[in-house]
A and B are shown apart, each in its own frame.
Chain A
C-alpha cells in the first residue's frame, strides 16, 4: 500500500458574514486507498486533538449519489477526475508532495455557510417553480397504460441522473445553473407524462433561475466537463428549444386559473 504526504490550503470562513482566508495544513500519511473525504477526516481528527476547529464540509452518502459533497480542488469542481464526486475521488490519483487548494463553490446564489459548505437552496427553489409533474397521490393510471419508447426512457434517465450538487454552477464562468435546470426539463419533457406542463415548466424554471441570481449560459461547456454524472450540454439546447416554444405558444390564461 502506497502512502504519501500532501500539503493542503483550505478556505476557512466562520460564516457568511465573516471574511475568509486560506489556511495551510499537512496531511502526512495519506493512503492510496483513502477517499478524498477520508483524507480530510484524518486531517480533522488531528485538528480536533490539537483543540482546533475542524474543517467543515458537506457530505452524507459518500457514494456519489446524494449530491451533498462538493468543493473545488485546485480550481476544478470535485477535483481532477472526470465523472466523479469528491467523495468518490480516491487518493491513488495523487502524488507525494502535491499541494492542493480547497475552496467552496463560488457563486452569488450559493452563500457560504462555513468553510467549504455552501447554501444551495436556490436549486430547490428552481424545482419548486416547476420541476415536477402535477399528479396528486392517487390520481395515476396503470403504469403500463402509456408505453414509453425505450430510447426516450433512457435519454430521460440520462438527465434524471443529476444529483443537484451544484458543480456545474461552481465551474461556470457565468455561474449559470443552465445544466441543472435543463436536466430537469429534459428528464420530464422526454416522457409522455411530462407533456401537459412542458412549456409552463420551461418558462417558470428559467424565470426562477434568473430570480436566484444565476448567470446566463454562453455555451462555455465547463459544466459538462465537471458534472459528476456527465450530463451533456445537449440538454441545454433542448431547454432553450422548450423555452422558445413556450414563449411563442404562451397562453396567458394558464397562470391565472379559472374564474369560477
Chain B
C-alpha cells in the first residue's frame, strides 16, 4: 500500500479549512444510525467520545481503569500550550508551529503541526467554558508560564495538576453523554484485538477485567486513543497499566507502526531508590523555570550540597546553552545529565542524579511564591524521598516519559486500516523526534475535541458497506484467537513471574536503546529480545484462571506485546543511523556532542508493516518536506 498522507492542497494556513470544507457530512438525523467505538478515555479518547456523542453518534467507550476519569492523562502536571498571545510577548500560531517543528527536530509533518497550533486556541476556550480552574492573575485573566523549548509564555496550567483538570473537564462532558444515553461506557474492559471485515475496521474484542469474560463489539468505525508505550522500559513515569496492547494488536491486523524508536526521556524525575522500584515519578518540567540544575565540578564529590561552594558547582546547562539555559528541550537536558553522571559527577546513591536547586529563587521570590507555584510537587517529592526541597536541592535523573512513535496516521488521523482512527499519544503524528513540554495535552485535546469528530464523520458519510454484527465470522474468528492466547498464557505454568520478565526487558531496553544508542548495543538487543520472548512463552507463570479478575494475566498479555514491540523498536533504531531529537545515535554527533541529523538520508517517517510472526517487518517511508520551517541544525546556545 502506498503511504498517502492525504495532506490538503494549498497554503499551510488554509489546509485545515480546505479539508473541513471538502469533507462529506452526515445529516444530523442520520448520525444516530452510526455507532463508533472509542478505545481510551484519556484526553484524546474522552474528548472524542464526548464530542461525537454531542454530535449525535452512538459511542461505545472503553478503558481498563475502573472509571474513565483515571486515564493516565490525569497525571500530567505542568501545563498545556496555546498560541493565545495573552502575554503580548510575540507569540502566534506561526511561532508555536515553528517551535514544535524545530523542537521535534524536523521529523514531524508540517501540515499536522500547523493545524495543531491553530486549534490550540480553541482548546483553551473550550476548557475554560467547561470549568477547568486554570491559574489566574489578580485581575481575573488567565496566567501563563514558560516551558522548555520556548522563549514565550504560552503554557496554561492548573497548579501542578493540569492534566487532572483537563481530563476532569473531558470526563464530565463524557459523563453528561453517558447520562444522556449517547455513550455506553465500558470501564475495566481491555481491548485485545481489532476486528476487520473485508479489510475495514468493524469492531473490537475486549476482556471484562472484573469477570474475565471476553466479548466482541461491532461498530461502523473504531478510534484508538490508548496512550503511549513507555512502559516497555518497565521503569517509566507512565501509570502501571499503560501498554502497547491496543496499538500493537491493531498493528498485527494491518496498521503500520511509525517511528517506534522515538521515545522521550524526561530530564526531571526522581532517581531510582532500589531494586523494588515499580515506577518513576516525574517532577514537572515547569520546575526548571525557577530551579537551577547543577553538579559538583569535581568527580566523586561526597560533600552535602550545601557545603559545596558556588565556585565548585557546574551549572552545566547555563554554561553550555546560554540562550535557553535550564529551559533547553528535554532531549538536550536529559543527555547533558547523563553525560555529567557518566563523568562521575552525579550525586546521590549510585551517582545517577543531578541537583535541581531552588535556593536562588526562594531567596529572590520567597518560599511563599515557590510554594504557590509548585507546592504539590514539593510535597510529592518530600513524600517519596523524605527530603525537604525547600532546604535541600532536589535530586533528579532522566526517565522514560513519552513515546512520539505510534500508529501511522494520515492527515485525517486514519490508520492504514480503513475505518480505524488513532488519536493522542497512540499515534505518531505531531511531535517528530522530540515532543516539547505541554504539547501532548494540546495534541490529545486537538485530536479528541476538534479533529476526530469531523474526520470520523467524513469517513462514515462515505461508507457503503453493509452493517455487520458480532455474529459475523470475522468476529467469531477473532474471539477464538483471543481465547486461545489467554488459555495458552494460563497453561504455561512455568517458573518465572511476569514482572521478572518485564524488569529484564526494561533493563535491556534502557541500557541498549535508552538515552544513547549505538550499532553494537542495538544488535545485541536484537539478539537478546527474541531469546527473552521465547523464554517468556515457555517459562512464565500465571496463577488463577481466566474467568475472574486476574491481574497477573492482564500484565502477562501486556508484557507479551512489549516483548514483540521491543524488537521492532530496536530494528527501527538500528535502521535510523542519524541522531535526531530523542533518538541519539552515538555514531552521529556534531563536534561539540550535539545530535547530528542526516537530512539527506533520513528525512522521513518510518512506517513498519507487520508481515507475520516470523517475518521481518517491511519499512515504508513517508518523506517529509519542510517548506516553511527550513531544515537547520537545532541550536539552543
Segment touching A, from B171-179, B361-369, B464-472, B610-618: B171-179
A129 CB within 8 Å of chain B? yes
A220 at the interface (CB under 8 A from B): no
**How many cross-chain pairs have Cβ atoms below 8 Å apart between A and B?**
223
B306 within 8 A of A: no
Q: Find out whether the CB atom of B140 lies under 8 angstroms from the CB atom of A149.
A: yes
User: Do residues A136 and B54 form an inter-chain contact, with CB atoms below 8 A?
Assistant: yes
B66 touches A68 (CB 8 A): yes
Which of A65, A117, A121, A150 touches B164 (beta carbons < 8 Å)? Answer: A65
Given contacts A60-B241, A124-B69, contact A33 B274 (CB under 8 A): yes
Interface residues on B, range: 35 or more
Interface residues of B in 278-330 (CB under 8 A from A): 278-279, 281-282
Task: Give A250 Cβ to nearest chain B Cβ, in Å.
Answer: 20
Instruction: Give every chain A residue within 8 A of B178 (Cβ-Cβ).
Output: 124, 128
Bound together, the chains give a CA A90 to CA B210 distance in angstroms of 29
Asked whether A60 lies within 8 Å of B549 as measured between CB atoms, the reply is: no
Let me know if A62 and B84 touch, CB within 8 A. no
CB pair B239–A66 under 8 Å, yes or no, is yes
Residues of B within 8 A of A37 (CB): 278
Residue from A53, A67, A143, A150 with most neighbouring chain B CB atoms (10 Å): A143
A84, CB-defined interface residue at 8 Å: yes
Within 8 A of A (CB), among B170-202: 171-173, 175-176, 178-179, 185, 187
Interface: A194 (CB within 8 A): yes
Contact among B127, B137, B159, B175 with A124 in the assembled complex (CB-CB below 8 Å): B175
A163 surroundings in chain B (CB, below 8 A): 164
Stretch at the interface among B249-257, B378-386, B409-417: B378-386
Is B239 a contact of A62 with CB atoms below 8 Å? yes
Min CB distance A2 to B, Å, is 11
Assuming A48-B552, A60-B240, A132-B175, is B140 touching A148 (CB within 8 A)? yes
* A121 adjacent to B158 (CB under 8 Å): no
With A38-B277, A92-B386, A114-B549 known as contacts, the answer to whether A133 contacts B499 (CB < 8 A) is no
Among residues 38 to 59 in chain B, which have CB atoms less than 8 Å away from a CB atom of chain A?
47, 50-51, 54
A148 to B239, CA, bound (A): 33
Which parts of B441-458 form the interface with A (CB within 8 Å)? 449-450, 453
B273 at the A interface (CB under 8 A): yes
Q: Which of B70-78, B340-348, B520-528 contacts A (4 or more CB under 8 A)?
A: B70-78
Q: Across the interface, which residues of B come within 8 angstroms of A47, CB to CB?
A: 543
A contact residues around B383 at 8 Å (CB): 64, 84, 88, 90
How long is the Cα–Cα vector from A138 to B55 in the complex, in angstroms?
11
Instruction: Tell me if B631 is interfacial: C-beta within 8 Å of chain A.
Output: no
Interface residues of A in 136-175 (CB under 8 A from B): 136-144, 146-150, 153-154, 156-157, 160-161, 163-164
Query: Which residue, A15, A63, A113, has most C-beta atoms of chain B within 10 A?
Result: A63
- The residue that A41 contacts in the complex, of B135, B165, B499, with Cβ under 8 A, is B499
| B539 at the A interface (CB under 8 A) | no
B68 in contact (CB, < 8 A): yes
Bound CA–CA A59/B72 (angstroms): 12
Q: Which of B92-100, B118-126, B568-576 contacts A (4 or more CB under 8 A)?
A: B118-126
Given A60-B65, A65-B164, A121-B66, A128 and B541 touching (CB < 8 A)? no
Selected from A64, A121, A143, A146, the residue in CB contact (under 8 A) with B67 is: A121
Contacts of A60 in B (CB 8 A): 65, 70, 72, 239-241
- A77-90 interface mask toward B, CB cutoff 8 Å, 1 = contact, 0 = none? 00000011000101
Do the beta carbons of A119 and B66 come within 8 Å of each other?
Answer: yes
Q: Is the CB of B125 within 8 A of A142?
A: yes
Contact (Cβ within 8 A) B552 A31: no
User: Which of B50, B159, B240, B384 contacts A88, CB < 8 Å?
Assistant: B384
Complex Cα spacing A51 to B544, Å = 9
Residues of B near A90 (CB, < 8 A) are 383-384, 386
Q: Please, how many angstroms separate the alpha-carbon atoms of A230 and B70 in the complex?
A: 19
* Alpha-carbon gap, A128 to B159, bound state (A): 26
Nearest opposing residue in chain A for B171, CB measure: A127
Does B125 contact A121, Cβ atoms closer than 8 Å?
no
Q: Are B499 and A113 in contact (CB under 8 A)?
A: no
Report whether A153 and B122 are in contact in the complex, using a CB–CB cutoff of 8 Å. Answer: no
Contact of A137 with B65 in the complex, beta carbons under 8 Å: no
Does A42 count as interface, using CB distance less than 8 angstroms? yes
Is A120 an interface position by the 8 A CB rule? yes
- Is B11 part of the binding interface, using a Cβ–Cβ cutoff of 8 Å? no
Cβ-based interface call for B486 (8 A): no
Q: Are B131's CB and A128's CB within 8 A?
A: no
For B176, what are the chain A residues with a Cβ–Cβ distance below 8 Å? 128, 132, 134
Name the one of B65, B128, B159, B274 contacting A66, with C-beta atoms under 8 angstroms.
Answer: B65
- Residues of A within 8 Å of B138, CB to CB, are 150
Instruction: Determine the chain B residues whose CB is within 8 A of the CB of A127 once the complex forms.
Output: 69, 171-172, 175
Q: How many angstroms between the C-alpha atoms of A34 and B279 in the bound complex?
A: 11
- A94-102, A185-193, A210-218, A252-260 - the one binding chain B: A185-193
Q: How far is the CA of A141 from the CA of B122 in the complex (A)?
A: 9
Taking a contact as CB atoms under 8 Å apart, the answer to whether B278 and A62 are in contact is: yes
| A194: contacting residue among B131, B158, B544, B548, CB under 8 A | B131
Interface centre among A83, A134, A135 (most CB of B within 10 A): A135
Query: In the assembled complex, which residues on chain A have CB atoms less than 8 Å from the CB atom of B129?
Result: 133, 135, 139-141, 193
> A58 to chain B: which residues have CB within 8 Å?
66
In the complex, what distance in Å separates the CA atom of A128 from the CA atom of B177? 8
Residues of A177-215 contacting chain B, CB below 8 A? 187-188, 191, 193-194
With A140-B122, A144-B141 already in contact, the answer to whether A164 and B278 are too (CB < 8 A) is no
For residue A260, give the distance in angstroms from its CB to the closest CB of chain B: 17
Q: Is A1 an interface residue (CB 8 A)?
A: yes
Q: Is A56 in contact with chain B by the CB < 8 A criterion?
A: yes
Out of B453, B541, B544, which one reaches A53, CB within 8 Å? B544
Contact present for A160 and B168 (CB under 8 Å): yes
Residue of B nearest to A129 (CB): B179
A-B contact pairs, 11 of them (CB 8 A): A1-B274, A38-B276, A48-B497, A62-B240, A64-B380, A88-B383, A119-B66, A133-B131, A137-B173, A163-B164, A164-B70
Given contacts A127-B69, A188-B131, list 19 more A-B pairs with CB under 8 A. A31-B276, A56-B549, A58-B66, A60-B70, A60-B241, A61-B239, A62-B239, A63-B282, A64-B383, A120-B66, A128-B175, A128-B179, A132-B130, A142-B125, A143-B124, A147-B136, A147-B141, A157-B165, A193-B131
Top 10 nearest A-B pairs by Cβ distance?
A: A147-B140, A140-B129, A132-B172, A128-B179, A140-B125, A128-B175, A157-B133, A137-B51, A33-B273, A60-B239
Partner-A contacts on B (CB < 8 A): 47, 50-51, 54, 65-70, 72, 74-75, 84, 86, 122, 124-131, 133-142, 158-159, 161, 164-165, 168, 171-173, 175-176, 178-179, 185, 187, 210, 239-241, 273-274, 276-279, 281-282, 379-380, 383-384, 386, 449-450, 453, 497, 499-500, 541, 543-544, 548-549, 551-552
